[in-house]
Amino acid sequence: MDYSITRQPLSELKADCLISGVFANHKLTSASQRLDQASNGALADLLKTAHLDKPGDSLLLHQVSGVGAKKLLLVCLGPKKEYKAAAWRTALASAIGQLNADKSRRLATSLLDDPWPGADGLRLAREAVLISEEALYRADSCKSAKNRDKASPKYPLQGLQFWTPDPTDGSALESAIEQGQAIAQGVNLAKDLANLPGNICTPSYLAEQAKKIGKQHKALKVSVLDEDDMEQLGMGALLSVSHGSRQPAKLIIMEYAGGKASAKPIALVGKGLTFDAGGISLKPGAGMDEMKYDMCGGASVIACLQAVAELKLPLNLVGLVPASENLPDGAANKPGDIVTSLSGQTIEILNTDAEGRLILCDTLTYAERFEPTAVIDIATLTGACIVALGDQASGLLANDQALADELLAAGQASNDRAWQLPLWEEYQKQLDSPFADMANIGGKGAGSITAACFLSRFAEKFHWAHLDIAGTAWKSGDKKGATGRPVPLLMQFLLQRAGDK
């Protein structure tokens, strides 16, 4: 969909449908008041007959006198006293979803105007684009054309104009919309890659997609290490996972140069397990299909590099995605096997299902060569993180509190929140092994923390944070599908690092 800004008088806007907010108990927002005046009070009269109480309740009106748009959708923002972000999000999503099934193609909305006290108008504009794209997203690329057509709307939405009354800084709003579009495209890319099944989205497929993106941007260079390269380097931990699979592992390297040549890059490292059956420590069958989502961290990294290149952000950024399958096989890791990582540290593999940390640890060591100012890894790493935080917050652990604080704040600002867990020294001993430098699992308690403890041993040379997105990267049940998280959080962080707010 196309997004733009309009400053025409609200009642004169030409659109198939104009979306305007109202509060519960027939209270008008300031934008709706303008429309009411233009209609000589007809709007307030019509509203009295409707029951709009909860956020998202709506009333569709045709050809309201004095209003230029063909239709007017009044959408409820809930009680005025309680109005804040959650109600605004629900209202916008419900309006877009509803109008996508309507004959309207060109929409306009006044929902950016008149927010709650303390709201940041520019962030709101960015988020409005994300919410709209979220409402329109379909994962139907694997349906046959006939069924795809059946499910897709007859009159797909084409454009959304955001109305704003005499803004003080027009260009800031314009660039917020642009940022929203780039981030939304990133979120959609992350979802598309993640929703693909494991037989299509293999490590090689991921690498090809990354290369394709690289070709579209001058400042983006994409290269891929294959298993021979990894062998030469000594990535024994990563390779031990892919040996159990017929699909060769790939290490995707995306380098974006948008900052000064002398500026040290930020590095994003994303777990790209295109299917995790657990290996010899096989997972139970129920719900195992969802382990195609074990590459969501990698997808989010590829998506961020695309979005950053699209926005030409003035910074340097490296994306590293180790991609592999984890399957049971005669050549697969066995419990008790000991491997030597790229760092030289040896690892006793007590559970072959704790494979994410094995492919990540070698990639973290590899990240050292870029001399990064900060490294953030993103991984669907532990079921324990779902137990701890559910599907609301990603788990955050870090060896540098300033970096952790920055990411927590970025999560708040983008409504893609993370919650910090401790990385205390005392947890490290859970990884003791009698035979190797460490074990790859930490026993019963604190599974997300011991996983991060493991990674921290490969992140001693830089500021590092780890996002465990096991609970946030996709939804299960009848709404099954990737969420695109934490692309909004990461993009907010990167925009801030690039000097934006």
Active centre residues (catalytic): 283, 357
In angstroms, give the least distance from the CB of 483 to Zn ion: 17
Is 194 near ligand BES (CB under 6 A)?
A: no
Of the ranges 31-39, 216-224, 375-383, 408-416, which one interacts with ligand BES (CB under 6 A)? 375-383
Cα torsion angle, 397, 401, 404, 405, sign: positive
The vertex-395 CA angle with 394 and 399, nearest 5°, equals 135
- Cβ(122)–Cβ(176) under 8 Å? yes
Is 406 near Zn ion (CB under 5 A)?
A: no
Q: Which H helix or E strand runs over 388?
A: helix 383-389
Q: Which residues make Cβ contacts (< 8 Å) with residue 427, sequence separation at least 6?
A: 442, 446, 449, 450, 453
In angstroms, give the least distance from the CB of 5 to Mn ion: 46
Cα torsion angle, 420, 424, 429, 432, sign: positive
Cα–Cα distance measured from residue 362 to residue 340, given in angstroms and rounded to the nearest whole number:
10
Is 121 near ligand BES (CB under 6 A)?
A: no
Is 384 near ligand BES (CB under 6 A)?
A: yes
Q: Which of 233, 383, 480, 481 binds ligand BES (CB under 6 A)?
A: 383
61 binds, among ligand BES, Mn ion, Zn ion, none (CB under 5 to 8 A by kind): none
Is 447 near ligand BES (CB under 6 A)?
A: yes
Of 221, 106, 200, nearest in space to 155 by CA: 106
Residue closer to ligand BES, measured from CB, 25 or 476: 476
Is 244 near Zn ion (CB under 5 A)?
A: no
Helix/strand/coil for 232: helix
Is 237 near ligand BES (CB under 6 A)?
A: no
DSSP string, 178-206: HHHHHHHHHHHHHHHHHHS-TTTS-HHHH
Is 468 near Zn ion (CB under 5 A)?
A: no
In angstroms, give the least distance from the CB of 468 to ligand BES: 9
| Interacting positions 9-48 with ligand BES (CB under 6 A) | none
Amino acid at 146: K
Is 273 near Zn ion (CB under 5 A)?
A: yes
In angstroms, give the least distance from the CB of 476 to ligand BES: 9
Q: Which of 56, 78, 186, 356 binds ligand BES (CB under 6 A)?
A: 356
* Count of residues that bind ligand BES according to CB under 6 A: 16
Is 214 near ligand BES (CB under 6 A)?
A: no
Residue closer to ligand BES, measured from CB, 115 or 322: 322
Cα–Cα distance measured from residue 77 to residue 345, given in angstroms and rounded to the nearest whole number:
56
Q: Which of 57, 255, 276, 416 binds Zn ion (CB under 5 A)?
A: 276
Is 353 near ligand BES (CB under 6 A)?
A: yes
Cα–Cα distance measured from residue 4 to residue 2, given in angstroms and rounded to the nearest whole number:
7
Q: Which tokens go with 485?
A: 């998280």
Is 346 near ligand BES (CB under 6 A)?
A: no
Alpha helices in 116-235 (DSSP H): 121-136, 145-151, 170-195, 203-216, 227-233
Please give the residue whose beta carbon sits closest to ligand BES in the complex: 383
Q: Which of 98, 382, 414, 472 binds ligand BES (CB under 6 A)?
A: 382
Cα–Cα distance measured from residue 25 to residue 263, given in angstroms and rounded to the nearest whole number:
55
Helix/strand/coil for 298: helix
Q: Which residues bind Zn ion (CB under 5 A)?
A: 273, 276, 294, 356
Q: Which residues bind ligand BES (CB under 6 A)?
A: 276, 294, 351, 353-356, 380-384, 386, 441, 447, 470
